[in-house]
Amino acid sequence: MSDITKQSLTELVENIKSKKLSSTDITKAFIERSEKSKDLNAYITEDFTSALDKAKKFDQKPNLNLKLPGIPMAVKDLFCTKDVKTTAGSKILNNFVPTYESTVTDNIWKEGGILLGKLNCDEFAMGSSNETSFFGNVQNPIDKDLVPGGSSGGSASAVAGQLTPITIGTDTGGSIRQPASFTGTVGLKPTYGSCSRYGIVAFASSLDQAGPMAQNVKDCALLQEVISSYDSKDSTSVDFERNQYSKELTNDIKGKKIGIPKEYRVDGMPKEIEDLWQKGIQYVKDCGAETIDISLPNTSYALPTYYIVAPAEASSNLARYDGVKYGFRAKGENLIDMYEKTRSEGFGAEVQRRIMIGTYVLSSGYYDAYYLKAQKVRKLIKNDFDEAYKKVDAILTPSTPSAAFKIGEKTNDPVSMYLNDIFTVPVNLAGLPGISIPAGHDSKGYPLGLQIIGKAFDEQNILNIAYAMEEKINFKNKITDWWIK
Partner 1 sequence: MSIDLKTIKHISKLSRISVDEKKAEKLAGDLNSIFDFIEKLNELKTDNIEPLTSVAETTLKLRSDEVKSKNIREQIVKNSPQENEDYFVVPKVIE
> Shortest approach of partner 1 to residue 305 CB, angstroms?
7
Among 56, 238, 270, 477, binds partner 1 (CB under 8 A): 238
Residue 374 as a binder of partner 1 (CB under 8 A): the answer is: yes
3-class DSSP state for residue 377? helix
> What is the distance between the alpha carbons of residues 92 and 200, in angstroms, rounded to a whole number?
16
Q: Which residues form the catalytic set?
A: 76, 151, 175
Which residues lie below 8 Å from residue 450, measured CB to CB, with a gap of 6+?
Answer: 276, 277, 280, 396, 397, 398, 399, 436, 437, 439, 469
- If one asks whether residue 418 binds partner 1 (CB under 8 A), the answer comes out as yes
Q: Which stretch binds partner 1 (CB under 8 A): 117-125, 265-273, 424-432, 463-471?
A: 424-432
State which residue, 35 or 386, has the beta carbon closest to partner 1: 386
Site residues for partner 1, 308-367, by CB under 8 A, read 308, 315, 319, 322-329, 332-341, 343-344, 347, 352-353, 355-357, 359-360, 363
Least distance CB 87 / partner 1 (angstroms)? 12
Q: Which is nearer to partner 1, 426 or 447 (CB)?
A: 426
Total residues binding partner 1 (CB under 8 A): 71
Q: x/- binding map, residues 154-193, to partner 1, per CB under 8 A?
A: --------------------------------------xx
241 near partner 1, rule: CB under 8 A: no
Residue 377 CA, chain-centre distance (Å), reads 25
Distance CA 245, CA 256 (A): 18
Among positions 34-73, residues that touch partner 1 (CB under 8 A) are: none
Residues 33, 256, 378, 455: which binds partner 1 (CB under 8 A)? 378
Strand segments (E) across 289-393: 290-294
Cis peptide, bond prior to residue 18, ω within 30 of zero: no
Extended strands (E) in 82-151:
114-119
Name the residue nearer to partner 1 (CB basis): 75 or 430. 430
Cα–Cα distance between 152 and 89 in angstroms, integer? 10
- Cβ proximity to partner 1: between 1 and 356 the closer is 356
Q: How far apart are CA 337 and CA 356, in angstroms?
A: 18
Q: Judged by CB, which is closer to partner 1: 131, or 219?
A: 131
- Tell which one of 155, 246, 298, 400 touches partner 1 (CB under 8 A): 298
Nearer Cβ to partner 1, position 256 or 378? 378
For 209-228, the three-class secondary structure string (H helix, E strand, C coil) is EEEEEECCHHHHHHHHHHHC
Task: Specify the residue, 235 or 443, whose C-beta has the smaller distance to partner 1.
Answer: 235
What is the pattern of x (binds partner 1, CB under 8 A) and - over residues 445-464? -----------x--------
Query: What is the C-alpha separation between 145 and 397, in angstroms, rounded?
Result: 27
Residue 204 Cβ vs partner 1, minimum distance, rounded to whole Å: 12
Using rule CB under 8 A, residue 251 touches partner 1: no
Residues within window 254-293 making contact with partner 1, judged by CB under 8 A: none
Instruction: Report whether 369 contacts 362 (CB < 8 A).
Output: no
What does the alpha-carbon distance between residue 69 and residue 12 come to, in Å, rounded to a whole number? 9
Residue type, 40: L
Sequence-separated (6 or more) residues with CB below 8 Å from residue 34: 42, 43, 46, 48, 74, 116, 117, 158, 163, 164
Least distance to partner 1, CB of residue 280, Å: 26
Residues 108-137 that bind partner 1 (CB under 8 A): none
**Which parts of 194-233 interact with partner 1 (CB under 8 A)?**
206, 232
CB 364, min distance to partner 1, A: 9
Could you tell me which of 141, 129, 156 has the C-alpha nearest to residue 416? Answer: 129
> Smallest distance from the beta carbon of 112 to partner 1, in angstroms?
27
Inter-residue contact 196 to 237 (CB < 8 Å): yes
CA neighbor of 362 nearest in space, from 305, 425, 309: 309
Q: Is 300 in the site for partner 1 (CB under 8 A)?
A: yes
Exactly one of 28, 57, 373, 472 binds partner 1 (CB under 8 A); that residue is: 373
* From 16-24, 254-262, 375-383, 468-476, span contacting partner 1 (CB under 8 A): 375-383
In the complex, the smallest distance separating the C-beta of residue 308 from partner 1, rounded to whole angstroms, is 6
303 is an interface residue for partner 1 by CB under 8 A:
yes
Report the DSSP pairing between strands 43-46 and 447-454: unpaired
Which residue of 2, 49, 235, 443 would you call a contact of partner 1, by CB under 8 A? Answer: 235
Q: Which is nearer to partner 1, 97 or 484 (CB)?
A: 97
Identify which of 203, 215, 162 has the alpha carbon closest to the alpha carbon of residue 78.
203
Q: Is residue 22 near partner 1 by the rule CB under 8 A?
A: no
Residues 72-91 that bind partner 1 (CB under 8 A): none
The span from the first CA to the last CA of the chain, in angstroms, equals: 21
Count H helices, E strands: the chain? 15, 11
